[in-house]
């Protein structure tokens, strides 16, 4: 019994020590600008948004609900379906009681890792640092009428098939691969190319790639997954990219590409314009393609994906990059985008073309 009592007392004592030192450790973390930012995103990571809000300066004049949506997204955007996985903070400027800290964030999503850099201004008060939360001035357009004059294709099913997606028993739209280029990057073989819908009806398309070795053995079998515009309207062209991890180009003797298509309902709306696109150098010297997306329709686009195709001076596809925009596209409001270009590719880029996949909650992607 005495041994049990001793053990219980040790556990209680340890718990009291932890309880007594925990506030001190938290205070120490928030006595530096980067410590405050790390503490802030540590609480975000554990879904403690009220705790994170406590590290925001009252002078920010912002409520908890606004901070939550600024971080976790709104309008069914990609951010609303993501979770903070990793955060790093570093001071990029500090003068007296003010500092600017860059938070490098990685969000886990269903489509891969989403990277975000956020510069936060902090102020010091009595030795403790707090975040001055930035205010976002979103455009609020007045009510307006947007004419609906887009093309639309519907499929009429027999009663027994009305629950099926697409037309399983109809002739598939005629599609054709117009170009293909095999390259090796980052220890893997990547197949780049373009595909056109030559038909008069829309189709859901995909490309399967098979690599064969010098002795006829299969080295890999992959599909384009999300590196393609799956729903193609008549005469539309999409880039496609297929990655084969762990395969080197000198191992490959033959590449087989199998495009597939199925007749699906589709429409030419929403129309998403790509504005002010240009190649730029970042502060770290890397090349990115930047621009703005404008939702020219009257409906909300929850998750936009940018697909960029780069060509050399002979018109050959030399690279395809993509990126998901973490904001929803509200009607008639532009949103910035940026996708990276490999440093060894950038000097050979003569021209480029950008297409946008869009995913909406109330209807399939296009």
- Predicted pLDDT at 326: 92
Say whether pLDDT at 180 is over 60.
yes
Query: Do the domains at 155-264 and 269-359 have one common CATH topology?
Result: yes
CATH for 31-132, among 3.40.640.10, 3.90.1150.10, 3.10.450.100, 3.30.70.2190? Answer: 3.10.450.100
Please provide the CATH number assigned to the domain covering 269-359: 2.60.40.10
pLDDT band at 23 (very low <50, low <70, confident <90, very high): very low
Say whether pLDDT at 352 is over 60.
yes
- 94/96 Cα distance (integer angstroms): 6
pLDDT band at 337 (very low <50, low <70, confident <90, very high): very high
More confident residue, 142 or 87: 87
- 321/227 Cα distance (integer angstroms): 8
Share of the chain above pLDDT 90, in %: 72
pLDDT band at 159 (very low <50, low <70, confident <90, very high): low
Residues 6+ apart with CB under 8 A from 24: none
- 77/303 Cα distance (integer angstroms): 5
pLDDT band at 11 (very low <50, low <70, confident <90, very high): very low
- The domain spans of the chain are 1-26, 31-132, 155-264, 269-359
Phi, psi at 8, each rounded to 5°? -60, -40
Q: Which CATH architecture has domain 155-264?
A: Sandwich (2.60)
Written as six digits, the tokens of 208 are: 């399967």
pTM value is 0.81
- 10 Å Cβ neighbour count for 301? 28
- Predicted pLDDT at 317: 96
**Per-residue pLDDT reduced to its tens digit, 292-324:** 999 999 889 999 999 999 999 999 999 999 999
């Amino acid at each position: 019994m005495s041994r049990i009592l001793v053990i219980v007392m040790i556990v209680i004592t340890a718990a009291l020590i932890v309880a007594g030192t925990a506030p001190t450790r938290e205070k120490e973390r928030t006595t530096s600008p980067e410590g405050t930012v790390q503490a802030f995103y540590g609480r975000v990571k554990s879904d403690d948004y009220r705790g994170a809000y406590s590290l925001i300066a009252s002078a920010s004049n912002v409520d908890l609900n606004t901070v939550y949506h600024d971080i976790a997204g709104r309008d069914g955007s990609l951010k609303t379906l993501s979770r903070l996985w990793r955060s790093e903070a570093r001071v990029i400027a500090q003068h007296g009681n003010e500092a600017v800290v860059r938070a490098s964030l990685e969000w886990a999503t269903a489509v891969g890792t989403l990277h975000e850099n956020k510069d936060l201004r902090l102020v010091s008060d009595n030795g403790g640092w707090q975040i001055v939360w930035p205010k976002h001035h979103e455009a609020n357009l007045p009510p307006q009428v947007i004419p609906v004059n887009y093309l639309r294709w519907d499929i009429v099913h027999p009663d027994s098939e009305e629950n099926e997606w697409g037309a399983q028993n109809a002739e598939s739209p005629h599609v054709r691969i117009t170009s293909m280029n095999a390259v090796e990057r980052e220890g893997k073989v990547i197949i780049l190319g373009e595909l056109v819908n030559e038909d008069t009806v829309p189709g859901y398309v995909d490309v399967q790639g098979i690599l064969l070795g010098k002795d006829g053995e299969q080295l890999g079998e992959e599909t384009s997954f999300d590196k393609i515009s799956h729903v193609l309207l008549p005469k539309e062209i999409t880039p496609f990219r297929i990655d084969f991890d762990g395969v080197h180009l000198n191992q490959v003797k033959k590449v087989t590409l199998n495009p597939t298509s199925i007749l699906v309902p589709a429409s030419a709306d929403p129309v998403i314009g790509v504005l002010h696109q240009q190649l730029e150098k970042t502060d770290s010297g890397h090349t990115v393609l930047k621009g703005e997306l404008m939702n020219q329709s009257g409906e909300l686009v929850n998750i936009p994906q940018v697909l960029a195709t780069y060509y050399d001076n002979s018109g050959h596809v030399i690279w395809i990059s993509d990126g998901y925009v973490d904001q929803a596209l509200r009607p008639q409001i532009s949103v910035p985008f940026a996708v990276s270009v490999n440093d060894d590719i950038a000097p050979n880029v003569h021209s480029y073309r950008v297409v946008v996949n869009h995913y909406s909650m109330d209807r399939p992607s296009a």
